[in-house]
Amino acid sequence: MIKTDIMFEVMVEKHFASAHHLLNYKGKCENPHGHNYVVQVWAKGETLDKANIAYDFSNLKDALKVVVDDLDHCDLNEHRDFKGESPSAEFIARYIYQQIKPDVPGLFKTVVYETPTQCAVYYE
């Protein structure tokens, strides 16, 4: 490993479509509706390996694919891990982070876009 004085960040993105409605909310979003979500996961590292890679994109894509495939084309309110919870963009961002963090030690942030102009970010 080559030690550097710079922090490297890498990101992969995946899309999924799902329906949901917000609980304990007054407004249009309390009604069932859907989104074409865009999810970004970000990992970082301080070192480069012999291939000059800080974090392998393939590892990030594989970890994200498992979670996103499980959420794709479902009613999030009926998802086994979301029962009784309001599946907001913030909740989804935290959920995805928690699901893939054990497999992605460099993970530091997830971003979930509900539309091209609004997103929620989760990091610890």
pLDDT, tens digit (0-9, with 9 covering 90-100), for 22-67: 999 999 999 999 999 999 999 999 889 999 999 999 999 999 999 9
Question: Would you say the pTM of this structure is higher than 0.85?
Answer: yes
Q: Would you call 114 a catalytic residue per the annotation? A: yes
Q: Would you call 85 a catalytic residue per the annotation? A: no
Q: How many domains does the chain have?
A: 1
Check residue 44 and give its pLDDT: 92
- CATH code for the domain in which residue 32 is found: 3.30.479.10
Which of the residues 9, 13, 46, 73 is marked catalytic? Answer: 73
Check residue 3 and give its pLDDT: 60
DSSP 8-state assignment for residue 59: H
Which of the residues 29, 35, 74, 119 is marked catalytic? Answer: 29
Distance CA 88, CA 13 (A): 19
Domain that holds residue 33: 2-122
